Structure 1
Amino acid sequence: MKASANAVAPALLCYCLLSRCATGAFDGYGGAMLGSLQFPGVWNISSALLSAVSGTLYLGARDTLLSVDAASLSSKQEAIVWKVPEEKRQLCMNKGKTEADCHNYILVLEFVEKDRIYACGTYAFDPQCAFINTVDFSLQREAGGGVRMEAGKGKCPFDPRQRHTTVMADGVLYSATTNNFMGTMPLISRATGPERERVRTEESSSWLSEPEFVSAALVRENAAGDDEKIYFFFSEVAEEYDLYMKVKTARVARVCKGDVGGMKVLQKRWTSFLKAGLV
């Protein structure tokens, strides 16, 4: 049974308000039903971001970004096409990926400022990020006319199927994703900001053991802002159980927003990283 636009819009608004519309709002390959219902010609809606000020819902899909009125999803929407060049798609397929894999699935949408969005996509298994101007809904471009892009490794997964999450805190992106082509190196990191402050988790299963990331949140604990924390919610293989089969358990990890790493072996590594099981 098809849902009406009047039924879908409030549900999406409620979802976005409760969850910040974090990355992964829709499965990377499972958004086609929503896309076919409301947005002809758009496939694989993978991320969503709601502006509480303007009531605009921004959607990341395959090779496309959408701007729609959240109160009426059936109304006319604006679209930005952000495709991968054909030669880059061919290179992706030469590495053993399918034609469907080698598109640009926009998985990360976060406000940097009130009129600027940071967007990251898989870009044919070579993650890239770009800035969106919400005033005229356009991609920021270089002087030569090309899209201004920066490396998305560590900010967005290579594979659109992989679970991930991000949160923007005072203009700095914190990310939980995988960091390599094979999707076997998970990390939680401060992914943007000054290079010297880009810290991350250690490459150790005691820190992260085959995690599937769900959500992230900034918690401001006092008005001065000197004790702010970032929380990451995920499931992972529980190493504390000595069982024949792998057992997944729910976790929450916490880092301090002001953590800039330590000395020697802890350079560019979180010194405040803690994780606990959820019951």
Structure 2
Amino acid sequence: MIQALVLLLLTGNGATATSTNPRLKLSFHNLRMRHGLHTYELERSCCFDSLLLDEERGRLFMGGKNYLASLSLDNISKQDKKIYWPAPVEWREECNWAGKDINAECMNFVKILHLFNRTHLYVCGTGAFHPICGFVEVGQRVEDSVFKLDLKSLEDGKGKSPYDPHHMAASVLAGEELYSGVATDLMGRDFTIFRSLGSRPSIRTEQHDSRWLNEPKFVDVFWIPESENPDDDKIFFFFRETAVEAGQGLGKHTFARIGQICRNDMGGQRSLVNKWTTFLKARLVCAVPGSDGSDTHFDQLRDVFLLPTRDKRNPLLYAVFTTSSTVFKGSAVCVYHMSDIRRAFLGPFAHKEGTNYQWVSYQGRVPYPRPGMCPSKTFGTFSSTKDFPDDVIQFARNHPLMYNSVLPHGQRPIFLQTNVGYTFTRIAVDRVAAADGHYDVLFVGTDIGTVLKVVSVPKDSWQNMEELLLEELQVFKDSSTVTSMQISSKRQQLYLGSRTSISQLPLHRCGIYGKACAECCLARDPYCAWDGTSCTRYMHNTKRRFRRQDVRNGDPNTFCFGDPQRSSVPEKKLYGVEGSSTFLECLPKSLQAQVVWTYQKSSSAPRKEKIQGSWNKSQIFYKWTLLHCDPSYSQLQEELLI
């Protein structure tokens, strides 16, 4: 007698932003053997925290301990070029005499990598606690094989590179000027935002003033234009620091910050000489609103990614946060609009007053020109900050902090994970053109060597988004922390650095979603579409009428079967003969789906006895059927007994 068993694949379309299950989870071995993962290791080096993507030359430049390397963007495992750049012996000995570890710290750790012009890079290293910078010739064309450090151009790296390899620093090269957030002393106590190189004078933040910078940890920095007039261009620094405005007597609190300065700031004439006169900072909030009115804050800013838009003045800023809370552990991603950032800097200044010296919104007269505004014809008549009145300079010195915070889009994180055994460390974002709109795909690195691939999709509107965790990928074989990340939309590749190695991975693996239209559609991956025969890369400009893709809803019934009334759950039927054995699938291809088997004795009989993956090891029903599911196997074995 032939019996029928029906498999129902229940998809996870209702997954929330805090879902811990990805649709696919791939190991390092699987990625390397089947899905194009390339790796690069450099003997006697480590700490590949500095990566620089050069699309024009097709190279990935890397900085590590005592080495610079140039790798092919197509395959980082091939055609590498190396420069050995150690610290001089006398510097290493001096470093060792100062009590530092001669093998772990008294080396030259390359921390700064920037494209300087069409033929050279600008590079800086710690130099065994003796920061040093120089120029590397890389040629002008792709076919140029030159990769050479100019030893005659080496210069002091103070104010550009950190002394200590463990200290965080951030910098950006704007034109020929280098803007750095860094500690400028051996002990790591004098933190500054510093301008060097170029023709304008070197300028820094006020020294030893906790109102300006208070034990900061610099994360990233970007050059963003304010208007069509380059005199309005600003540099934005992202960092975290000990908050001066936190509640008294409550201990140290870390706040995430965004700071701004004008590129054309020349310092003051009589006060703040060679100091920033346009420096302002505001708190960067990433928090989950609580039902009781209290928010759960993520204040440990870890990384920021600038996603360009059609308007170069208004990019999106994606930021990764963790929390130092002892109550719970978690990580979050918040996204910020430049309009909200600018609004905070145009709002009230923070001011300390009253008998208890509480921080309040400053209600007095703000001098003209407003502190933080750049001297230009766009917003005034001043041609230089040296022409600013004394009251403007004095106000700027005493009021660097804004009262209003910068809130994220939607007033909450767009993606968060709690109690998952890892924390977020880095982020890169790719804007993907799909059949039903543009989607931002997030690649989030973790401290256990994995990358999470996440896509934002609208629930009922493009203002109300949900995050789908598509993939969890093990990109380093030793589970090293992801410390650097670069993305190439042009080549569709992701490049990642850790303490031990560098990995390269394609942004998509469409073929892994299955060999049916429904499986491809249910994946909801904006990179992928059903082309009539297989799940392949979706090309926005390709006109093929049988392409099928539905990122927004993941509805295969409409897009694959053309029948919106059809059951939304795909079915698979197996027929068994009494006295024989067969295998039933236990684990679905998607970890956000559920497999359910039902038994039907004949075509006219009702379906009975739902059997799910969470059932006990053995279960008897109808007296003649024994079903067995061993968790150590990936399949469910059914034995039909007489």
Q: Please, what TM-score do these two structures have when normalized by structure 1?
A: 0.84
**Alignment-derived partner of residue 240 in structure 1:** 245
Q: Distance in 1 between matches of 2:234 and 2:106?
A: 36
Moved more, 108-117 or 39-48: 39-48
Moved more, 196-205 or 209-218: 196-205
**Contact 1:208/1:236 (8 A) holds in 2:** yes
**Contact 1:218/1:228 (8 A) holds in 2:** yes
Alpha-carbon deviations, 1:50-85, whole Å to 9, x = none? 112122110000000000012211113100011112
Pairwise mapping of residues 102-117 of structure 1 onto structure 2 (< 5 A)? 102-117=106-121
Pairwise mapping of residues 1-80 of structure 1 onto structure 2 (< 5 A)? 1-2=27-28, 4=32, 37-41=39-43, 42-80=45-83
Indicate the SS of the match to 2:94: helix
Report the CA distance between 1:48 and its aligned residue: 1.0
Q: 1:140 aligns with which of 150, 159, 177?
A: 150
**Alignment-derived partner of residue 165 in structure 2:** 160
**Contact 1:46/1:105 (8 A) holds in 2:** no
Q: Distance in 1 between matches of 2:90 and 2:158?
A: 20
**Alignment-derived partner of residue 529 in structure 2:** none
Report the CA distance between 1:86 and its aligned residue: 1.8
**Alignment-derived partner of residue 259 in structure 2:** 253
**Alignment-derived partner of residue 212 in structure 1:** 217
How many residues are aligned here? 246
**Are 1:131 and 2:135 an aligned pair?**
yes
**Alignment-derived partner of residue 192 in structure 2:** 187
**Alignment-derived partner of residue 222 in structure 1:** 227
* Structure 1 unaligned spans of 5+: 10-36, 143-147
Pairwise mapping of residues 254-269 of structure 1 onto structure 2 (< 5 A)? 254-269=260-275
Equivalent AA in structure 2 for residue 112 of structure 1: F
Q: 1:173 aligns with which of 178, 181, 194?
A: 178
Query: For the structure 1 residues 40 and 170, does the alpha-carbon distance in structure 2 shift closer, same or farther, using more than 3 Å as the test?
Result: closer
Q: Distance in 1 between matches of 2:244 and 2:120?
A: 41
Query: For the structure 1 residues 8 and 171, does the alpha-carbon distance in structure 2 shift closer, same or farther, using more than 3 Å as the test?
Result: farther
Q: Distance in 2 between matches of 1:235 and 1:7?
A: 37
Q: 2:126 aligns with which of 122, 125, 138?
A: 122
Please identify which structure carries the higher strand content: 2
Indicate the SS of the match to 2:151: coil
Q: Distance in 2 between matches of 1:255 and 1:8?
A: 41
**Contact 1:104/1:123 (8 A) holds in 2:** yes
Q: Distance in 2 between matches of 1:260 and 1:4?
A: 52
The alignment's C-alpha RMSD in Å is: 1.6
Q: Distance in 2 between matches of 1:76 and 1:69?
A: 6
**Contact 2:91/2:130 (8 A) holds in 1:** no
* Structure 2 unaligned spans of 5+: 1-26, 140-145, 286-642
Q: 1:199 aligns with which of 184, 196, 203?
A: 203
Equivalent AA in structure 2 for residue 139 of structure 1: L
Query: For the structure 1 residues 265 and 89, does the alpha-carbon distance in structure 2 shift closer, same or farther, using more than 3 Å as the test?
Result: same
Query: For the structure 1 residues 113 and 8, does the alpha-carbon distance in structure 2 shift closer, same or farther, using more than 3 Å as the test?
Result: farther
**Alignment-derived partner of residue 349 in structure 2:** none
Indicate the SS of the match to 1:90: helix
**Alignment-derived partner of residue 517 in structure 2:** none
Report the CA distance between 1:127 and its aligned residue: 0.1
* Rg comparison, structure with higher value: 2
**Alignment-derived partner of residue 16 in structure 1:** none
**Contact 2:113/2:121 (8 A) holds in 1:** yes
Indicate the SS of the match to 2:230: coil
Report the CA distance between 1:263 and its aligned residue: 1.5
Q: Distance in 2 between matches of 1:255 and 1:106?
A: 26
Equivalent AA in structure 2 for residue 277 of structure 1: R
**Alignment-derived partner of residue 380 in structure 2:** none
Q: Distance in 2 between matches of 1:200 and 1:85?
A: 29
For CA contacts below 8 A with separation 6 or more, give which structure has more relative contact order.
2
Q: Distance in 2 between matches of 1:114 and 1:160?
A: 29
Equivalent AA in structure 1 for residue 113 of structure 2: L
Equivalent AA in structure 2 for residue 118 of structure 1: Y
Alpha-carbon deviations, 1:85-114, whole Å to 9, x = none? 222211110111111110000000011112
Query: For the structure 1 residues 197 and 45, does the alpha-carbon distance in structure 2 shift closer, same or farther, using more than 3 Å as the test?
Result: same
**Contact 1:232/1:254 (8 A) holds in 2:** yes
Q: Distance in 1 between matches of 2:123 and 2:234?
A: 23
Query: For the structure 1 residues 250 and 8, does the alpha-carbon distance in structure 2 shift closer, same or farther, using more than 3 Å as the test?
Result: farther
